[in-house]
Every structure is written in C-alpha cells, then in structure tokens.
Amino acid sequence: MLPLQDVRIVSLEQYGAGPFGSLHLAELGAEIIKIEDPSAGGDVGRTVPPYTRGEDSLFFESFNRNKSSISLDMATPEGRAVFEDLVREADAVYSNLRGDVPAKLRITYDDLKHVNPAIVCCSLSGFGMTGPRVKEPGYDYILQGLAGWMSVGGEPDGPPQKTGLSMVDYSGGLVAAIALVSGIHAARRDGTGMDCDVSLYDTAISMLTYLATWHLSAGHEPRRTARSAHPSLVPFQTFPASDGWLVIGCAKEKFWQRLVTIIGREDLLEDPRFRTFTDRAEHHGELEKILDAELARATVAQWLEKMRAAAIPCAPINSIPQALADEQALARELVVATDHPVFGTVRGVASPVRVGPARATPHRAPQRGEHTESLLRDLLGYSAEHIAGIRAAGAFGTG
C-alpha cells in the first residue's frame, strides 16, 4: 500500500496553493475528493491561460493529478447533505479560501463535529482566520511584497522583484499538507478532530528565517545584493564565463581554497583582504572583479568540469527546458506523463516527496464532476433514485 492510502480528504480547493498541497498527499496515496462549485465553473485553475480547452487547462493538470471531482452546490440543502455525508466518511476537510469564508460556509470543526467528531478541518488562507487582515484576499505576489521578500530581490539599483516562481503559494501548500497529516494523526490517536489555521502570510513571514533573526536580535537590515550574491558567504553568487553564466557557492572555507587553486590564483589565500568570510564580505567588490576576470578565460562547460572534479558547489544557469532535460532530473524520474482526452499526453513534474513505494501509474486531473455519481453510489451507498432526486434539485448544477 501507498503510505496514505487509508486517508480520505474532502477538499474545497482552488487555483494553486491549495491544490499544490494536496497534490503531494495524493501522490502518497491519499484520496482527494475535490468539491467544485458548478455555479463558478469549478476550480478557477481550470481556466488559467494560455493552454486551455473548455473546462480544463495545463495549469489545472499541473496541480490535480490523482484526484477525483464532485460537482456540488453546497448552497442547496441537497448539496449540503451530500457534503456532510462525505465528511462522515472522511478524515479531513481542506480548503484554501479567504480567512473568513470557512465560517460562512460552515466548514469549521465546530460546524462539522456533530457529523464526524474526528474530522480535521484545515484552512489555508491568505492571512489566517484571525487578525485585522482576515477578510483580505491573499495572493503570492501580494504576500511577497508584504512579507519583505521583494525588498531583497533584484539588483541593488533596480526595482524590487518577486521570486521567479510562486514560492509563497507552494510553500503554503506544503505547510498545509504537514498540518493535515499531523492533524489526522492526532485525531486518530485521540478520537477528536480540530481546526488547522494555516496562512500564506504566516508562511511567508516564517521563511524570513535567519534574516529575521539577524534583524530582530542584532538590528540588521537586509538589503538586495548584486548578481544574487549571498548576504554573508563570499564568494557565493553568479559569475560570467566566456560564453554564459554559472553559479558558484563557496559555503565552506575548503571550497574557497579549492576555487583559487582551480583558477590558478593561490596567492589570494595569503591576501589579507580575502582570508576569511568576514574579510571577503568586506572586500566583496574587489574580489568579484578578480574572479570575473579569471572566470572569463574559459567557457561555462570548462569551468563546470573542473569545479565538479574538485567537488566545488557549482551549476550552470539553466533555462527551464534545460533544467527539465538535465540528466539528474531524468535519473530521478522527475518527469511524469498522463493521458488526457483533449490534450493528449500531458507531461509534468513529479512530487519530490518519496516515502514508501512509488505510485505505479499517475492519473490525469479529473474533469469537473467526473466522479460525482460513482462516489455517491460506491462510497456513500446512494441509490440511482436518490442521485436522480439530488440532480433534479440542482445540487450538481444546471449544466
């Protein structure tokens, strides 16, 4: 069995952060049942451009493999009844909605404990379920600005920049996944469920880590560094070779010693400006000019060959296509493929979470409502007549 094959999560998830978190749980075998609102066309991720086909997109496919979907209008009495029946058979209810919405939708623990005393209700919101911003929508770009990330991104003389990927969303999804697994473990141990209040804001602030510690404890004010340089470890940044860029990371003194040997500048070891990390940080600009001149004498490939042989941390600055074609990515089977009725073969990236046996065959993301009848029939034991009555009442939408 897959590690989470005995876990069932009813998910009111949408877009990126929420589905990214449950994607990894699904990869580990958890049954993720997506509740999609028919009046809104389901998960908004289904219509994210540029690659869309009807109620599906390659964006949606990236976050929803190995899940099932029920099209359900919870505003109707019949839809609410179906939802509560699903909760009765589930371990958790998961949502990524605005912080004040779970209470409005009645999907908190207090709202559902009468249905299932052991249910875990996990909310991943922009700002959490408390505080002055609880009613504000939260998106990755917004949080990167608010949490200080953009103040340390980009060149010192340029505008603030976000990270190249939606790291607040993805990190928030992973935090929610940890919360879900932890909450389910505790509920099975104690017999009592709970609320899990996770937010993108909390995640973004917590990821300031040592920059926050430096500021709060020593008054340090983090600033942007040129060419993605590490704020204290020198040299640790991007460098130009004769035909492109590479990144070199001397995170330990031994790497610095090996680097100067590789470039034929052992004299730098005795230069008082560069003897320690502190010295090199103080004279960073002078050292950068020296290393730029030396590294410009050869190509990226030539330097990488020498540095890898000397076990110096280094890498080319790959494009996305180059990264996905890298021999290590292929060896680690990080590219997976699924068959799709419209898109044909959809190739994407695998989950990095590796626990127990690998899932034999990944399944494409579900079409909206694809599993409505089968889950109601097989999981909840509804008769055909019961399902027909719910449909007639509009609980599955009018389309």
List of domains in the chain = 8-206+331-392 (3.40.50.10540), 226-316 (3.30.1540.10)
* CB-based contact 177:102 (threshold 8 Å): no
pLDDT reported for residue 290:
97
- Token pair 């996770």 is found at 198
Residue 222 neighbours by CB distance under 10 Å? 15
* CB-based contact 13:19 (threshold 8 Å): yes
Cα gap 238→288, rounded to integer Å: 10
Amino acid identity for residue 106 in this structure: R
Quick one: CA dihedral 189, 193, 194, 199, positive or negative?
positive
pLDDT reported for residue 358:
80
Cα gap 373→388, rounded to integer Å: 10
Cα gap 264→18, rounded to integer Å: 51
Residue 15: name the closest of 65, 64, 68 by CA. 64
Cα gap 209→317, rounded to integer Å: 26
* CB-based contact 28:63 (threshold 8 Å): no
**Hey, what are 199's tokens?**
């937010």
For the question of whether the overall pTM of this predicted structure is more than 0.85, the answer is: yes
Cα gap 124→282, rounded to integer Å: 42
- Token pair 């070779």 is found at 241
pLDDT reported for residue 398:
77
20: Cα within 13 Å, side-chain hemisphere: 18
Residue 28 neighbours by CB distance under 10 Å? 20
| Cα Rg, the chain, nearest whole Å | 25
Residue 35: name the closest of 69, 84, 82, 8 by CA. 69
- Rounded to 5°, the CA angle 152-154-160 comes to 70
**Hey, what are 192's tokens?**
């009592």
Under-50 pLDDT residues of the chain: none
Quick one: CA dihedral 87, 92, 96, 99, positive or negative?
positive
pLDDT reported for residue 399:
59
Quick one: CA dihedral 69, 72, 74, 77, positive or negative?
negative
pLDDT reported for residue 361:
86
pLDDT reported for residue 140:
96
302: Cα within 13 Å, side-chain hemisphere: 13
202 Cβ partners below 8 Å, 6+ apart?
128, 175
